[in-house]
Homo-oligomer: A and B are copies of this chain.
Amino acid sequence: MTPHPFDTAIALALQPDGTMLGATSPDYWNMVGPYGGITAAIVINAVMQHPALIGEPLALTINYAAAMAAGPFRAKVRPARTNRSTQHWLVELVQTTAEGDENLTTTASVVTATRRDTFADSDVPMPAVPAPADVARVDRTAAGVAWLAHYDIRPIAGDVPRQWDGQVADSLSQLWMRDNPPRPLDFPGLASMSDLFFPRVWLRRAVRVPAGTVSMTVYFHADGAALAATATGHVLGQAKGQGFRHGFFDQSGQLWNEAGLLLATTHQVVYFKG
């Protein structure tokens, strides 16, 4: 069976020195570097492949320090602190330049935890939206943006503006998403979907300006069993901008499965020009 392109893109090979080797995938390319979501998935995969892992991902912060070049990269993964039921990981992705120098492209921290049954509830119920089958799929293409073809995206509200007319609007987007072709949901897949929202400043201003994520934080609320049960169902994503100022904006978002379970919450701060 041919592996899913997502699995090829996040594949890592453990080296004798404890680092892990991977390579960027043309399938998830985004103009000047890999799609940020796939890099987040690689970080999660690196921690989950580590022999010392305890538990499952709870929190991820990834800092996009520099664009990754097409080609191989190395993941340095360190369990900085291991407690009884939580573990604190530090991850760095580096590449070797043509001059033989080490180029740090990404820093990240991941908290893993053993989950147990407790009081469970949500203060962000899934909004009332039409079912995925009742929302038109948008096959969006853009020059140099390969990753879009690997997602089934069904915008419900707050889609990319059709007219770049500078009309200020609310920055809320809601959309159904899943891998294309479908792929059973897991932590790397969910990490990647957490970055799937186009820049809020485009929606807020209806002006298309260069923008790039600087740092993203994802909190995972569902355990691996709940992700497995979500299988290849669609995931509802919602994101809204908060502050826009001094060349940066932030967004806050949530992801639910079709059954209405809150899978993850996601936040990011994004550079924008103009």
Interchain CB contact under 8 A, A245 and B88:
no
Interchain CB contact under 8 A, B215 and A111:
yes
Answer whether residue A246 sits at the interface, using C-beta atoms and an 8 A cutoff. yes
Interchain CB contact under 8 A, A119 and B265:
no
| Min distance, Cβ A96 to any Cβ of chain B, angstroms | 16
Residue of chain B at shortest CB distance from A92: B80
Partner of A171, one of B123, B172, B273: B123
Answer whether residue A58 sits at the interface, using C-beta atoms and an 8 A cutoff. yes
- In the bound complex, residues from chain B placing their C-beta under 8 Å from that of A111 are 63, 214-215, 269
Q: Which of A229-255 contact B (CB under 8 A)?
A: 240-248, 250, 252, 254
Answer whether residue A70 sits at the interface, using C-beta atoms and an 8 A cutoff. no
Interchain CB contact under 8 A, A59 and B201:
no
| Min distance, Cβ A209 to any Cβ of chain B, angstroms | 8
- In the bound complex, residues from chain B placing their C-beta under 8 Å from that of A120 are 244-246
Residue of chain B at shortest CB distance from A66: B81
| Min distance, Cβ A157 to any Cβ of chain B, angstroms | 14
Name 18 A/B residue pairs within 8 A (Cβ), A-sorted.
A61-B109, A61-B217, A81-B104, A111-B269, A113-B247, A118-B272, A119-B244, A119-B272, A120-B246, A121-B204, A123-B172, A123-B200, A123-B244, A215-B217, A245-B262, A252-B267, A265-B267, A267-B267
| Min distance, Cβ A208 to any Cβ of chain B, angstroms | 13
The segment from A24-32, A136-144, A219-227 found at the interface with B is A219-227
Q: Which of A50-80 contact B (CB under 8 A)?
A: 58-59, 61, 63, 65-66, 80
Size bin of chain A's contact surface: 35 or more
Residue of chain B at shortest CB distance from A124: B242
Answer whether residue A19 sits at the interface, using C-beta atoms and an 8 A cutoff. no
Answer whether residue A162 sits at the interface, using C-beta atoms and an 8 A cutoff. no
**Copies of this polypeptide in the complex:** 2
Residue of chain B at shortest CB distance from A61: B61
Q: Which of A76-131 contact B (CB under 8 A)?
A: 80-81, 83, 86, 88, 90, 92, 104, 107, 109, 111, 113, 115-124
Bitwise, A254-274 to B at CB < 8 A (1) or not (0) is 100000001001010101111
A50 and B261 alpha carbons, distance in the complex (Å): 44
- In the bound complex, residues from chain B placing their C-beta under 8 Å from that of A107 are 80-81, 88, 90, 109
Given A219-B248, A242-B254, 6 more pairs with CB closer than 8 A? A59-B215, A81-B104, A115-B246, A118-B245, A122-B242, A123-B244
Interchain CB contact under 8 A, A58 and B214:
yes
